Amino acid sequence: MSWREPTTSCSWIDTYKQYSTSTFEICKKKCIEETDVLCSSIEYNSSNGSCGLSSVRSRSQNYEEPCSADGYIYSEILNGKRDPRVSTEAVTSWWLYAFVGSIVIIALVLMAIMVMCRRRNGQPTVDNEIELYSNPDRRGPDQNLIYLRM
């Protein structure tokens, strides 16, 4: 896991948890171990030992560089931390099953159409019309013809 170089900035309005820690490194560790909310950044105040965890990054509207309050050190996780509440495996599986299920349904519909399609009077038509009967064995004017043009 890599962190952004510490800066004298802050986004203290967006912090969701506060701890009292003795060092900046312990504050980073608190963020890494956080499981309730995705911790993306920290603000550590060396003068009073306060450690603020935040789910926002430096792109937040409340981000200040330099920080208007003295003593704050800000850093954010650049890569390597995922939201513990979201399983990417479950999301991937869901999309995979949905995709495969859609393909199977499309294939079944196409097979049903192919079985029900008959060329007009057993001969191919000149304008590529295909008649689709609700009951292919009983052709006639009362059999719900559907014309498909290709």
**pLDDT, position 30:** 92
pTM (2 d.p.) = 0.51
Domain spans, the chain? 2-79, 88-149
DSSP 125: -
For residue 69, give the nearest of 51, 49, 45, 41 by alpha carbon. Answer: 45
Give 29-77 pLDDT, tens digit per residue: 999 888 887 888 889 998 899 998 988 777 776 777 877 788 888 888 8
Region 97-107: mean pLDDT is: 82
Q: According to the model, what pLDDT value does residue 97 have?
A: 76
Residue 105 has pLDDT above 80, yes or no: yes
E strand spans, the chain: 2-3, 15-20, 41-45, 50-54, 72-79, 117-118, 129-132, 146-149
Most distant pair of Cα atoms in the chain: their distance: 92
Task: List 43's β-bridge partners, or say none.
Answer: 52, 74
Predicted confidence band of residue 150 (pLDDT cuts 50, 70, 90): very low
Query: Which one is the CATH code of 2-79: 3.30.1330.10, 3.40.50.2300, 3.50.4.10, 3.40.50.720?
Result: 3.50.4.10
Nearest CA-CA partner of 54 in 24, 28, 22, 21: 28
Tens digit of each residue's pLDDT (9 = 90 or more) over 80-94: 665 555 444 555 566
